[in-house]
Amino acid sequence: MASTGDLEPTHYPARRAAQVALHYLNTHHGSPFRVFGLQQVHKASAEDVAAGGRKYKLDFSVTDWGSGSAGPALRCSADVLFPRTERHSAPEVQLHCEALHQINSTAQEEDAFYQKYISPDSTVSARDIPDSFGNMSEEMQPFWRLARVAASFIMLRESSENTEFNMAKVASVTQQESSEEQLMLEFVVLLHDFPSQEIVQWKLLASWSPDRGVRVLQTEWQPRCPHATKPPN
């Protein structure tokens, strides 16, 4: 179902495209102390493109979930191209956010976090973040954010015009042996797709350091017991 031309910013086509831009933003600028969320879409339009895809132009605002409701909103603009190919391929995003480098630095927190967990003795392991009641210990928050950022790589890759992903919860985090001075973390994350309401499970291996940021090394779709629901694409 297609809409071309100006889009209603409060309707789902614009919102889904904006969410894709958010995933892209988080893969580039997310950290254990920074995850961006969509605040609202101001303007949106879409057009078919020559190669057979659809390109969305978006004007939207984002906030850093880490700063809570007190945080400032950043104004962003993005082009999001959903290719039309036989097999699904990842959308392509071009993104620009104003004042991205002016937001409060989290270098100190990142460093402290890194130092704490890079030691060879560190063996972090936890389940259900947050728990059923939305609770998460302060210690787990940076791990939750790291999972969210790492999951953004998957969500970005798996997105189409017919999906809208968020991370529902972190089923588990297990620290692996550090490699090349990177924190190595194995996550099992549960993604929620809003249109189909499906919960999709992914296992992933991610690395992080203050210098290199988040990298996702391996991803593996996992069937959920007892029945296997394939990912929407």
Partner 1 sequence: MRLYLAVFALLAAVHCEELFNGDQVLRIHAESENHIQILKKLERDVDSGLDFWTHAVSTEQPVDIRVPHSSLYALKDFLKKNNIPFTVIINNVQEHLVREREEMVRNAKMESKTKSFNFAAYHDLETIYNFMDTLVASHSNLITKVNIGSTYENRPMYVLKFSTGGEQRPAIWIDAGIHAREWISHATAVWLADRIATDFKENRAPVPSILSQMDIYLMIVANPDGYVFTHRSPNEFYRLWRKSRSATSNPKCHGVDLNRNWDAEFGGPGASDDPCAEDYRGPSAQSEIEVKNIVKFIMSHGNFKSFMTLHSYMQLLMYPYGYIGIDAPDWPELHDVATKASKALNSWHGTVYKVGSIFHTIDQASGTSVDWAYLRGIKYSFAFALRDTGEYGFLLPADQIVSTARETWFALRYIMKYVCDHPY
Residue 74, token pair as written in the block:
């950043």
Rounded to whole angstroms, how far apart are CA atoms 71 and 203? 32
Rounded to whole angstroms, how far apart are CA atoms 230 and 224? 9
Burial class (CB in 10 A: 0-12, 13-18, 19+), 227: exposed
Rounded to whole angstroms, how far apart are CA atoms 173 and 125? 5
- Pick from 53, 71, 83, 130 the residue near partner 1 by CB under 8 A: 130
Is 126 a binding residue for partner 1 by CB under 8 A? The answer is no
Is 40 a binding residue for partner 1 by CB under 8 A? The answer is yes
* Shortest Cβ 178–partner 1 spacing (Å): 28
Is 5 a binding residue for partner 1 by CB under 8 A? The answer is no
Q: How far is CA 231 from the centre of its chain?
A: 16
Residues 97-116, mask of contacts with partner 1 (x by CB under 8 A)? --------------------
Beta bridge partner(s), residue 31: 34
Is 218 a binding residue for partner 1 by CB under 8 A? The answer is no
- Pick from 119, 125, 132, 218 the residue near partner 1 by CB under 8 A: 132
CB closer to partner 1, 119 vs 197? 197
What does each C-alpha distance from 44 to 12, 115, 163, 165, 224 come to in angstroms?
11, 43, 17, 19, 36
- Pick from 12, 28, 83, 209 the residue near partner 1 by CB under 8 A: 12
Residue 124, token pair as written in the block:
């972090």
Stretch that binds partner 1, among 48-56, 92-100, 101-109, 218-226 (CB under 8 A): 218-226
- Alpha helices of the chain — where are they, by DSSP H? 12-29, 107-118, 141-158
Stretch that binds partner 1, among 74-82, 179-187, 191-199, 202-210 (CB under 8 A): 191-199
CB closer to partner 1, 67 vs 115? 67
- Which residue type occupies 144? W
Q: Which residue ranges make up the site for partner 1 (CB under 8 A)? A: 1, 8, 10-12, 19, 35, 37-40, 65, 69, 127-128, 130-136, 166-169, 171, 190, 192, 194-199, 201, 224-227, 229
